[in-house]
Amino acid sequence: NAGVMQNPRHLVRRRGQEARLRCSPMKGHSHVYWYRQLPEEGLKFMVYLQKENIIDESGMPKERFSAEFPKEGPSILRIQQVVRGDSAAYFCASSPPGLPYEQYFGPGTRLTVT
């Protein structure tokens, strides 16, 4: 059973470009969470999704950030017009139905904005 998969593992973008981060949950998992880890900080919750639904986006910045988890395919975290402050590691986690606290994390995408 493959774990949570994220790609790309490393992403470099220039200021003003768009970043798209992908997350494929573990097989059988229907809940996806995105967290951001700034340098020398712990992870901060961004958004919680189920298939085709955003359940909780209380941690998402109000502008430029969006997330989706379509019926088919991976979850996508999209950052428009990136700025240097967006440089961070972005982690995706998934959990099985009925066990929301059993969160399994992917390896992360390290975004660098130049």
Partner 1 sequence: AQSVTQPDIHITVSEGASLELRCNYSYGATPYLFWYVQSPGQGLQLLLKYFSGDTLVQGIKGFEAEFKRSQSSFNLRKPSVHWSDAAEYFCAVAPQEYGNKLVFGAGTILRVKS
Cβ partners under 8 Å of residue 5, min gap 6: 23, 24, 74, 106
Judged by CB under 8 A, the stretch of 11-19, 20-28, 75-83, 94-102 that binds partner 1 is 94-102
Q: How many CB atoms lie within 10 A of CB 64?
A: 15
Among 21, 95, 111, 113, binds partner 1 (CB under 8 A): 95
Judged by CB under 8 A, the stretch of 19-27, 52-60, 63-71, 73-81 that binds partner 1 is 52-60
Among 27, 55, 81, 83, binds partner 1 (CB under 8 A): 55
- Using DSSP bridges, classify how beta strands 65-68 and 75-79 pair: parallel, antiparallel or unpaired: antiparallel
Cβ partners under 8 Å of residue 3, min gap 6: 26, 104, 106
Residues written for the chain: 114
Among 13, 103, 111, 113, binds partner 1 (CB under 8 A): 103
Residues in contact with partner 1 by CB under 8 A are: 4, 6, 31, 33, 35, 40-45, 48, 55-56, 58-59, 91, 95, 100-108
